[in-house]
Chain A
Amino acid sequence: MDLAEKVKSISGEDVLSCYQCGLCSGSCPVRFAMDLSPTQVIRLVQIRNIEKIFEANTFWICSTCFACYARCPREINITKIMEALRQIRLRRDQDKISVNEIPKEELKILPPIALVSNFRKTTA
């Protein structure tokens, strides 16, 4: 399947109604660490250039906070788009992090929910 179609089918979201207002990027708490803004990512999905998105770290940096979705005037669930992008990578067994490299001192204190959620988002 074409990657853009895959994003659409995994997320269940149609991004064509996005009019590039930028509210999602303005609401994004981790925009500062992203190569491309959420708005740019949505634009790239619109023009079906998913390869370009995969060159950026945006979907890995997204923290699934739903701030963008809560404010999008077109009610696009951008958070789901980010998940679809992560899933496409993870389903090809391309992990973002290496579980073995987490320092022991951190594992001693991290809440289990931090690890469960992180591994769900960053490992296949």
Chain B
Amino acid sequence: MVKIPYYPGCAVQTTARNYSISGIAVAKKLGIELVELPKWNCCGVFPSLATDDLMRHLAPIRNLIHVQEMNENGIVQNENRIITFCSMCYHTLKEVNLFLKDAEKMEKINAFLEREKEFVGGVKEGYRGGVEALDFLEVLRDMVGYDRIAKEVKKPLKGLKVTPYYGCLVLRPREIGIDDPENPTVLEDILEALGAEAIDNPNRTQCCGSYHTVDRKDIVAKLTYDNLIYPIRNGAEVIVTCCPLCTFNLDHRQKEAIKLHRDLKETPVMYYTQLMAVAFGLDKQFWGVDLGLHYVDPKPLLEAKNLY
């Protein structure tokens, strides 16, 4: 079992617990123990894109410093990687290293943090750089491999028509993305390893409407419709996602989308880790389908496919 630091993030602790519960169990099955940072804070979700904004980069940096501390405290050995499930956390943690390539910025940030040594609750060292953020999808593709995933499958998802949806932040911009931004395949490849049938979705890399879900539900509802209607027309029975905000918009905002367009059929949205937990034959508590977090309940579908 290899031990790797794990950054949960706020979403997978609350509205997306089904993601982390299934993901941690799946990782374990594949020989990876995700060790939660002993102390962590919200990553900030979106990196600031302003060149002169240092303060909003502090949040992800703190988390990377905690990885350094884990090594010093012997919680992990020589492990400079940190794994996340949430695309937004991944994006932000990854971006900050690019931002800090500018030595002057790194110096300023560390000078600011230097003063924290004086007070209780401050970090005791600066950031040395080089902590690598990994999205769990990358881990599955590059460390574990699809063959190994296929080997763990106890209940192949035969006949389950799944359409993958990637969203933005795990793919773009190119310097941060984990796959080809125009034609990603990692979700499709995982689905294939699980024995499911992937239904094509021309909009699988289009934005879900993101944070507009707070004050412009109308924008999100339109995008939810656009992003779901083609694969659903082509027979998709479930949408598979990798980001808690995409998931919320594609799942919960179906309510508003259906009001706009009656031809949209309520379709469950699940994280790829949940489908993996199902296919691996893990105990149902690790599927995360009984936590009341889904707007469209995936259980009837799983039952109909003799998977539940």
Contact = CB atoms under 8 A, between A and B. Distances in A.
Are A and B direct contacts in the complex by CB distance below 8 Å?
Answer: yes
B209 interface: yes
Interface stretch (B25-33, B46-54, B270-278): B46-54
A66 B172 CA distance: 6
Given A29-B226, A118-B213, 9 more contacts: A9-B52, A10-B51, A29-B206, A67-B206, A69-B172, A77-B173, A87-B50, A114-B211, A120-B45
A47 interface: no
Contacts of B244: 111, 113
Interface stretch (B103-111, B133-141, B214-222, B279-287): B214-222
B158 interface: no
A64 B46 contact: yes
Contact of A116 (B42, B169, B212, B215): B42
Contacts of B124: none
A24 interface: no
Interface of A: 9-12, 29-30, 32-33, 61, 63-67, 69-70, 77, 79-80, 83-84, 87, 96-97, 102, 106, 109-118, 120-122
Nearest to B181: A70
B248 interface: yes
Interface stretch (B8-16, B70-78, B112-120, B191-199): B8-16
B161 interface: no
A49 to B, nearest CB: 21
Nearest to B219: A33
Given A69-B172, A120-B44, A110 B51 contact: no
A70 B174 contact: yes
B16 A66 contact: no
**A-B interface, 4 closest residue pairs, ranked by CB to CB distance from nearest:** A65-B207, A66-B172, A118-B211, A83-B49
B42 to A, nearest CB: 6
B135 to A, nearest CB: 15
Interface of B: 9-11, 14-16, 42, 44-46, 48-53, 56, 86, 88, 168-169, 172-174, 181-182, 205-207, 209-216, 218-219, 222-223, 226, 244-245, 248, 252
A113 B49 contact: no
A65 B207 CA distance: 6
B214 A63 contact: no
A37 to B, nearest CB: 16
Contacts of B219: 30, 33, 61, 63
Contacts of A96: 215
A63 B11 contact: no
A30 B223 CA distance: 8
A33 B50 contact: no
Given A67-B168, A110-B248, A111-B244, A117 B173 contact: no
A116 B207 contact: no
B52 A121 contact: no
Contacts of A69: 172-173
A10 B172 contact: no
B52 A112 contact: no
B46 A120 contact: yes
Given A113-B9, A120-B45, A66 B209 contact: no
A114 B222 CA distance: 18
B245 A117 contact: yes
Nearest to B212: A63
Contacts of A116: 10, 42, 44-46
Contacts of A112: 10-11, 14-15, 42
B168 A117 contact: no
Given A109-B15, A112-B14, A117 B210 contact: yes
A32 B206 CA distance: 14
B11 A79 contact: no
B207 A117 contact: no
A111 B278 CA distance: 24
Contacts of A12: 51
